[in-house]
Amino acid sequence: MSQTEKKPVLFSGIQPSGHIQLGNYIGAMRNFKLLEDQYNCLFSIVDLHALTVRQVPASLRQQTLELAAMYIAAGLDPHQSIIYCQSHVPQHAELAWILNCFSYIGELSRMTQFKDKARKHQDNINAGLFTYPVLMAADILLYQTDVVPVGADQKQHIELTRDIAQRFNAIHPGVFKVPESYIPRQTAKIMSLTEPEKKMSKSDPEDSMVSLMDKPEVIRRKIKRAVTDSDAQIRFDRAEKPGVSNLLNILSVCTGEKVEDICRRLEGKGYGQLKEETAEAVVAMLAPVQARFHDLMADKAYLAQTLKDNAERAQKLAGRTLAKVYKKLGLYQV
């Protein structure tokens, strides 16, 4: 089906900062392919959002290309979905300014992510960090989005997006579709290898997460060093045995074998066997994705043209909404 056919619209954005890690892939990217037939999908590389933290320009450019390649390597079709850079569609920033005028200081100051990032970056508490959720609202509302896949840490932002849309529509009826959160089908939560009480994150220390870029020997080393415990019993117990439970989850997701069956099969065999099987399962699952990724990164002209073409498609959709907004607000257009 083409992007213009009347299917619900799904929008998702990922920052090009750091490398995509195993948890991102299992919880999000791997499932995106399943959504292409149900939705008109837009997958945005939200490079403007990345600027709230100081970036090394050359690294940001490289990570942007890598993320585009990873979307395609994970199975997405750039002719069916729209895979594009946020900064290539100026309507994002334009609508964000408009929506800033419909957002309140009080509600932005209550955003937990702002508080968390302000604590981590006390030398750079900038206005962009404060108004980040408004740009996120613009990202979503620009495409008359029906659903947005979200994790627990983004639910507050989606609620703010809905509030802003409803506030605008109350004054200027019928402009924005009010989006819903999309809760992906239940997937195993992948935790840090070194601190298994918290989720794996691409911003964590290198040894705590498996990057989709990691070579097989690096994956094996990281999983071999993963935190477990001292009683050597292989059983799933998130509270008492978080490290072992995390490895069991990863192995189960990679192979499709049920956790209880793995526990039964590995009974009495020790953590070494669990770690070895988990490492080999991760290596095997990522091998085709990595091969496709490296092929794409070797053809930067293809990636550049794909991003250009997809940005043009996104601009057409975004332009319709922005024109409607400008007209409703009384901004004189020629």
Sheet with strand 82-85: strands edge to edge: 82-85, 40-45, 9-14, 147-149, 180-182
The CATH code belonging to domain 206-294 is: 1.10.240.10
| Domain 9-182+299-329 class in CATH | alpha beta
pLDDT score, position 249: 94
Question: SS in 3 state form for 26-89?
Answer: HHHHHHHHHHCCCCEEEEEECHHHHCCCCCCHHHHHHHHHHHHHHHHHCCCCCCCCEEEEHHHC
Helix (H) or strand (E) holding 309: helix 300-329
Q: Is 202 a catalytic residue?
A: yes
Among candidates 147, 52, 61, 144, which has minimal Cα distance to 95?
144
pLDDT at position 166, please? Answer: 97
Reduced to 3 states, what is the DSSP secondary structure of residue 133? helix
Q: Which of 33, 202, 324, 328 is catalytic?
A: 202
pLDDT at 187: 62
Token pair for 62: 């490289």
- Active-site residue, selected from the candidate residues 199, 222, 241, 275: 199
Residues in the chain, total: 334
pLDDT computed for residue 205 by the predictor: 77
Q: Yes or no: say if 63 and 46 are a contact pair by the CB < 8 Å rule.
A: no
pLDDT for 153: 67
Question: So what's the pLDDT on residue 260?
Answer: 94
Is 241 considered catalytic here?
no
- At 2 the pLDDT is 47
**What's the pLDDT at 5?**
59
What pLDDT, on the 0 to 100 scale, is given for residue 152? 65
Domain boundaries, the chain: 9-182+299-329, 206-294
Flag residues of the chain having pLDDT under 50.
1-4
Residue ranges with strand state E in 99-255? 147-149, 180-182
Is 117 catalytic? The answer is: yes
User: % helix / strand / coil in the chain, to the nearest 5?
Assistant: 55, 10, 35
